[in-house]
Amino acid sequence: MTVLILGGTAEARALAELVQQAGLAFTSSLAGRVARPRLPVGPVRIGGFGGVDGLRGYLRDEPIQLVVDATHPFAEGMTRNAVAACAAEDVPLLRLERPGWAQTAPEEAASWHWVDSHAEAARVTAELSQRPFLTVGRQRLGEFTEALADHQALVRVVDAPDLELPAAWTLLTSRGPYTLAGERDLIAAHGLDAVVTKDSGGTWTWPKMAAASELDLPVVIVRRTPPPMGAGGDHVVHDPAEALSWLLARGAAAAS
Contacts with ligand NAP, residue ranges (CB under 6 A) = 6-9, 29-31, 33, 48-51, 54-55, 71-72, 74-78, 81, 137, 139
CB-side exposure of 119: number of CA atoms within 13 Å?
A: 0
> Closest approach of Cβ 252 to ligand NAP, in Å?
26
Quick one: 70 or 247, whose CB is closer to ligand NAP? 70
> Closest approach of Cβ 93 to ligand NAP, in Å?
14
Cβ atoms of 87 and 232 within 8 Å: the answer is yes
> Closest approach of Cβ 62 to ligand NAP, in Å?
14
Quick one: 38 or 191, whose CB is closer to ligand NAP? 38
> Closest approach of Cβ 189 to ligand NAP, in Å?
25
> Closest approach of Cβ 217 to ligand NAP, in Å?
22
Q: CA-CA distance, 71 to 54, in Å (whole number)?
A: 18
Amino acid at 63: P
Quick one: 104 or 130, whose CB is closer to ligand NAP? 104
The residue nearest ligand NAP at its CB is 48
Give per-residue burial for 84-120: e unless 16+ CB within 10 Å, then b. bbbbebebbbbbbbbebbbeebeebbeebbbbeebeb
Quick one: 51 or 230, whose CB is closer to ligand NAP? 51
Quick one: 52 or 215, whose CB is closer to ligand NAP? 52
Q: CA-CA distance, 181 to 184, in Å (whole number)?
A: 5
Cβ atoms of 55 and 32 within 8 Å: the answer is no
- Render 173-204 in DSSP notation, one character per residue: E--S---HHHHHHHHHHTT--EEEEE---SST
